[in-house]
Structure 1
Amino acid sequence: MPLVEVSLIEGRPPETIRALISSVTEAVADSLGSPKESVRVIVREIPPTHWAAGDVTIAERGPRT
């Protein structure tokens, strides 16, 4: 039973997350020859205040231009 965990910054619409789950499921099933029913996908949405690189959070960086 393949298990895929995806972490990303929160804020995407539910339909975007749903599309991601479908795409990941298809890719894993095709790559491994596993039945789709056995593929597990966990999506973790992280607040921008809880994700940092180089001691700077995403929230502190502000919007990307």
Structure 2
Amino acid sequence: MPMISVAMFPGRTPAQKSALVRELTDAFIRTCGGKPEGVQVTLVEVGADHWATGGVLHSDR
């Protein structure tokens, strides 16, 4: 059972999250086969004060 995990900044609407989950599931099935009910997707919202790129927190940018 595949699991797709997405880490992203907060702020997307429930409709956007729902569409993202559908698109990720569809892409996995098209590419790798299987059944949609076998694909798990987790969305992890990470605040800018907990995410850094290049050694700098995004909250400090």
Aligned-pair distance for 1:31?
0.9
SS at structure 2 position matched to 1:20: helix
| Structure 2: distance between partners of 1:55 and 1:11 | 23
Give yes or no for the alignment of 1:17 onto 2:17.
yes
- Over the aligned positions, Cα root-mean-square deviation in angstroms equals 0.9
Deviating above 6 A after TM superposition, structure 1's stretches of 4 or more consecutive aligned residues are none
Distance in 1 (CA, whole Å) between partners of 2:32 and 2:55 is 38
TM-score by length of 1: 0.86
Consecutive unaligned residues of structure 1, counting only runs of 5 or more, are: none
Figure out how many residues of one structure are paired with residues of the other and give that number. Answer: 61
- CA deviation profile, 1:3-49 (whole Å, cap 9, x unmatched): 11111111111111111000000001111111001000011110111
Q: TM-score, normalised by structure 2?
A: 0.90
Q: Among the aligned pairs, what percent are the same residue?
A: 34
- Provide structure 2 residue ranges, at least 5 long, that are not aligned to the other structure: none
